[in-house]
């Protein structure tokens, strides 16, 4: 996804001379072509994330379309006050890019974990929050973010994430179906989507066919698609690489609370806790119940349990611990 982002940024800068890229001393190698081609439109502010945001705000006020870049935990946590006041309050069109969202940098320890980024950015009024799941979604969504009148946050992965629907049109603010299915719908966001697709594809031989929906836009959430999904399944499983507060499951829970007789909801994802040590990202996902095997087993259990609709106000079931 990072390569797709760099290529999409290059194309955007070629098409619009107002596009300017700012980094907090990260991305060496990845953006060398951009730096060589556009010179002064590549700005490295150093390890100073607050200054990164403030510089972008000033440039936006002068008519530029800034894109700022850092590791997700640094891009959102360190300069949150500046994002809130300097971007959110005046509604400036700055794209904040967080690389390695979720637990991509799991082995680097808690400083590099980013299980709160979507929640933090969703707290800022009028902030568009996007977590693409594959390179194709990056190339489709970045140009749309650059046309917004207000700020946006783009969570991207690292390298090597597989594409799952290379030709489908991706529209900002609209979720998309990745796999048609019945009984159970898996709802996800970000790079965990490819793992969800892998899990569902592995169940076909058993005659188990849950649907998969990718909500790349977390804010604003596609509520009409959730309404449509709820009419066709007895259970919605939210799979997320984010803490339970402020992420996709929290948004879906808020939607579910307003429905009289909606589907049962299950969450697969990290607990509300910081993870110490330096496990690999695969070890983290296995531990948190969001690897392919755990997702498949959840689908087996739910599809065999029958059509059970949750009553109004029913509590969310949290399978992962």
Same-domain status, 100 and 240:
no
Interacting residues of 2 by C-beta distance below 8 A, sequence separation 6+:
30, 99, 156, 157, 158, 159
What pairing do the DSSP bridges indicate for beta strands 176-179 and 317-318?
unpaired
Mean pLDDT value across residues 3-29:
95
Segments forming the whole domain that contains residue 224: 176-318
Interacting residues of 92 by C-beta distance below 8 A, sequence separation 6+:
56, 57, 60, 61, 86, 150, 151
Give the neighbor-by-neighbor strand order of the sheet with 42-44: 42-44, 19-23, 65-71, 95-99, 152-156, 128-130, 217-219
Same-domain status, 151 and 268:
no
Residue 164 falls inside a structural domain: no
Same-domain status, 8 and 107:
yes
How far apart CA 241 and CA 103 sit, in angstroms, is: 7
Which of 50-59, 153-162, 199-208, 274-283 is predicted with the least confidence, judged by mean pLDDT?
153-162
pLDDT of residue 96: 98
Residue 167 falls inside a structural domain: no
107-135 tens-digit pLDDT: 999 999 999 999 999 999 999 999 999 99
User: Which pLDDT band, with edges at 50, 70 and 90, does 312 fall under?
Assistant: very low
User: Which pLDDT band, with edges at 50, 70 and 90, does 168 fall under?
Assistant: confident
Residue 169 falls inside a structural domain: no
- What does the mean pLDDT of the chain come to? 92
Total domains present in the chain: 2
Q: Which pair of structure tokens corresponds to residue 150?
A: 């207000």
How far apart CA 317 and CA 298 sit, in angstroms, is: 12
CATH code, 264: 3.40.50.920
Taking the CB of residue 113, how many other CB atoms lie within 10 A of it? 24
Same-domain status, 149 and 239:
no
Which of 41-55, 57-71, 141-155, 259-273 is predicted with the least confidence, judged by mean pLDDT?
259-273
How far apart CA 170 and CA 209 sit, in angstroms, is: 24
CATH code, 113: 3.40.50.970
CA distances, 226 to each of 26, 119, 181, 235 (Å): 37, 19, 15, 12
Mapped onto helix, strand or coil, the DSSP state of residue 77 is coil
| Cis ω before 220 (30° cut-off from 0) | yes
Residue 242 falls inside a structural domain: yes
Residue 72 falls inside a structural domain: yes
The model's pTM: 0.93
Same-domain status, 149 and 202:
no
DSSP string spanning 169-232? ---TT--EEEE--SEEEEEE-TTHHHHHHHHHHTTGGGT---EEEE--EEES--HHHHHHHHTT
Same-domain status, 202 and 101:
no
Interacting residues of 159 by C-beta distance below 8 A, sequence separation 6+:
1, 2, 3
Query: Which strand (E) or helix (H) includes residue 14?
Result: helix 2-15
Cβ atoms 70, 105 nearer than 8 A: no
How far apart CA 192 and CA 155 sit, in angstroms, is: 12
The DSSP symbol for 297 reads: H
Query: Considering 121, 156, 191, which residue would you say is the last residue of a domain?
Result: 156
What pairing do the DSSP bridges indicate for beta strands 176-179 and 211-214?
antiparallel
How far apart CA 165 and CA 178 sit, in angstroms, is: 7
The share of the chain scoring above pLDDT 70, in percent, equals 94
Residue 165 falls inside a structural domain: no
| 21 strand-pairing partners | 42, 67
Same-domain status, 201 and 146:
no
Interacting residues of 286 by C-beta distance below 8 A, sequence separation 6+:
293, 294
């Amino acid at each position: 996804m990072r390569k797709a982002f760099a290529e999409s940024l290059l194309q955007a800068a070629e098409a619009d001379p107002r596009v300017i890229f700012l980094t907090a001393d990260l991305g060496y190698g990845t953006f060398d072509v951009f730096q060589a081609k556009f010179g002064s439109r590549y700005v490295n502010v150093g390890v100073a994330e607050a200054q990164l945001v403030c510089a972008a705000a000033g440039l936006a006020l002068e008519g530029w379309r800034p894109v700022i870049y850092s590791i997700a935990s640094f891009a959102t946590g360190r300069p949150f006050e500046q994002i809130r006041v300097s971007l959110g309050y005046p509604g400036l069109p700055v794209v904040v890019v967080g690389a390695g969202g979720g637990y991509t940098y799991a082995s680097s320890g808690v400083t590099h974990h980013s299980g709160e980024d979507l929640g933090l950015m969703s707290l800022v009024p009028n902030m568009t929050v996007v977590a693409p799941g594959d390179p194709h979604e990056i190339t489709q969504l970045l140009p749309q973010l650059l046309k917004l009148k207000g700020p946006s946050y783009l969570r991207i992965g690292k390298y090597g994430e597989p594409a799952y629907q290379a030709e489908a049109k991706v529209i900002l603010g609209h979720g998309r179906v990745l796999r048609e299915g019945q009984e159970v719908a898996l709802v996800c966001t970000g790079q965990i989507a490819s793992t969800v697709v892998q899990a569902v594809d592995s169940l076909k031989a058993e005659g188990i066919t849950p649907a998969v929906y990718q909500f790349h836009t977390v804010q604003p959430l596609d509520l009409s698609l959730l309404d449509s999904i709820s009419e066709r399944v007895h259970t919605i499983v939210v799979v997320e690489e984010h803490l339970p507060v402020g992420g996709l499951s929290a948004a879906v829970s808020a939607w579910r609370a307003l429905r009289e007789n909606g589907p049962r909801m299950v969450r697969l994802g990290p607990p509300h806790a910081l993870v110490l040590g330096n496990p690999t990202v695969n070890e983290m996902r296995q531990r948190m119940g969001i690897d392919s095997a755990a997702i498949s087993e959840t689908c087996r259990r739910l599809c065999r349990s029958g059509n059970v609709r949750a009553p109004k106000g029913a509590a969310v079931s949290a399978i992962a611990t």
